[in-house]
Structure 1
Amino acid sequence: MDRPQPPTLLIVAQAGRLTYEAVLFLASLRQAAPGWTGRVVLAEPLPGPLWPGDPGIDDDEARALLIEMGAEIRGFDSLHFGAAYPHGNKVEALSVLDPDEPFLFFDTDTLITGPLDTVAFDLDRPSASMAREGTWPEIQLYGPGYTETWRAIYDRFGVPFEPTLDLAQPDEHWERYLYFNAGWFYYRRAGVFRADMLRVMLGLRDDPLPELVCQSFDPWLDQVALPVVIAGLGGGRPGPELAGLDGDITWHWRALPLLYARASDAQLAAFEELTAPNRIKRVLKRYEPFRRMIYQNRGGKVRALFDQTRLPRPERALRSRIKRERLWLR
């Protein structure tokens, strides 16, 4: 029996770091998932009133390499967020797809490390990454607590709250509540997902709830909206069929110093193999933080700071140690 057509793979890139992360992403896809037959669309923000300049990819050699590796580059208008909240790009970028097009979004700071084509996506049941920490909300001394905060959001947008709870977790523990990292997410209709995300994100930003008066939405706005939208569309936490995402098939490395700090020996060897070919090296070296971290051994100095079998938690402890040693480059 023929396999169903895979969803369109969507990433966002613009001038600067995201250009070179996109090169790594495409190179890893072609190396680790040669069986992937789906389209790869790279969405690029266009100049407009919400950007102080042209945010598009400004490295012609990098652009040519992305196209050579199979990316279809499409521009989109930033109508709601732009430079004030660049995380909004991943939602506005869905406009480059047909409204009924199934999609799988990844942040560019992700590597494909296994056969992505073998993942059994149920496109009718959206989900997103669980590679997250309890970053939102930040509970204040006199409340409200997690339940009151999250319930207020679900009630505002007419989505049932109780079915989203993980009852195996204790009351008022952050993991009891549906919370995702927006590093990957998917659904069967790009237009519906985009419209729902914009409705929730703009509603929270422009008409804030009293329960959220002490909460910050920068950079968390997309991650606050994501569980409400996914639950409203009939989705939820990823099932075992998606275990390879944030597992053996994808790796959300987030920042190069964190990659060198947290990678297993096998992951680091694969990364070094990925960045060694001259056509990749020539482009990545054009971005100074990548040149210094990858090709001038700044990454090796970061790695020497940590025992990879006993890494500190949470992530901010890693960041703080690297910054104290003046090795943080991104």
Structure 2
Amino acid sequence: ALPEGVPFVFFDTDTVVTGPLSQVAFDFDRPSASMRRENTWPEIELYGPGYGEIWKSLYDKFGLDYAASLDLSQPDEYWQRYMYFNAGWFFGACPRAFGRRFLDYARAIDEDRPEPLICQQIYPWLDQIALPLVISSFGGGRPGPELDGLDGDITCHWRILPLAYARESDRVIKVIEQAAAPNRIKKILKEYEPMLRMIYQKRGRKVRALFDRNALPRRERMIRNRIKSEGFWMR
């Protein structure tokens, strides 16, 4: 376990580091998380509660400042107005305090969800539902420009190898392939079929040739569907 009271940064295991983390100006007293996400939750029903009612019910449940979480540059009932993160990276001042609260909030949502969430599917989104609440509770918020290197020139949360080959930069792919090249690493990674096929048998290069990184489809689902139609999807 990480020590009490020591600043931390969490990176998901499917992350590649492509530059020096020392160049990232973390403010550990103002936690934040990745904004590389899509509109995955909540799913708005035709006659059900909207984004505002759903998110406000969660902030109210934990006694948090809902108004402070809003991006007022975005229109009412547009999903980006409401703070929503990807859990590919996040950071804070104390890993144990953050972890305890993350677990407590997730359990509370799962076991006693507010009424506006009754018809919402919370799996597999529970971590993304709880994360903005936890970050708000510690005085954090959306990342500023000083964190642009995360999900940028310094780290990449690649998530699924076919997607990585389809859309990530040449630098990201080069670092992944270099990291996978030593024989002692190769021996282990070859046991995982997506890495065997995509990296070592070069199917990733075939996926990469299907897409123009300067004109990618707007939605991830469209990229996935193209990869699947070509028979290269695996995870």
**What TM-score bracket applies, with the shorter chain setting the length?**
over 0.9
Contact persistence 2:102–2:131 (CA under 8 A) = yes
Residue of structure 2 aligned with 1:135, choices 40, 49, 56: 40
**Equivalent residue for 1:75?**
none
**Shift >4 Å, 4+ stretches:** none
State the distance in 2 between where 1:270 and 1:230 align.
31
1:259 aligns with 2:172: no
State the distance in 1 between where 2:174 and 2:135 align.
36
- Other structure's SS at 2:195 match: helix
- Other structure's SS at 2:19 match: coil
Distance apart, 1:101 and its partner CA: 2.8
Q: How does 1:1-330 map to 2 (within 5 A)?
A: 96-330=1-235
Contact persistence 2:162–2:204 (CA under 8 A) = yes
Q: Given the two structures, how large is their TM-score scaled by the length of structure 1?
A: 0.69
- Other structure's SS at 1:301 match: helix
State the distance in 1 between where 2:43 and 2:170 align.
35
- The alpha-carbon distance between structure 1 residues 267 and 194, as it changes in their structure 2 partners (threshold 3 A), is closer
Q: Which structure's relative contact order is higher, taking Cα pairs within 8 Å and 6+ residues apart?
A: 2
Structure 2 unaligned residues grouped into runs of 5+: none
The root-mean-square deviation of aligned C-alpha atoms, in Å, is: 1.3
Contact persistence 2:32–2:140 (CA under 8 A) = yes
Distance apart, 1:206 and its partner CA: 0.5
User: Which region of structure 1 is more displaced relative to structure 2, 133-142 or 316-325?
Assistant: 316-325
State the distance in 1 between where 2:18 and 2:50 align.
39
Give the count of matched residue pairs: 235
Q: Given the two structures, how large is their TM-score scaled by the length of structure 2?
A: 0.95
- Other structure's SS at 1:269 match: helix
Contact persistence 1:100–1:190 (CA under 8 A) = yes
**Equivalent residue for 1:51?**
none
- 1:175-215 deviations in whole A, cap 9, x for unaligned? 11111101111111112111211221111100122100121
- Other structure's SS at 1:149 match: helix
Q: Which amino acid aligns with 2:168?
A: A
User: Which region of structure 1 is more displaced relative to structure 2, 98-107 or 148-157?
Assistant: 98-107
State the distance in 2 between where 1:263 and 1:224 align.
26
Distance apart, 1:302 and its partner CA: 1.4
Q: Which amino acid aligns with 2:7?
A: P
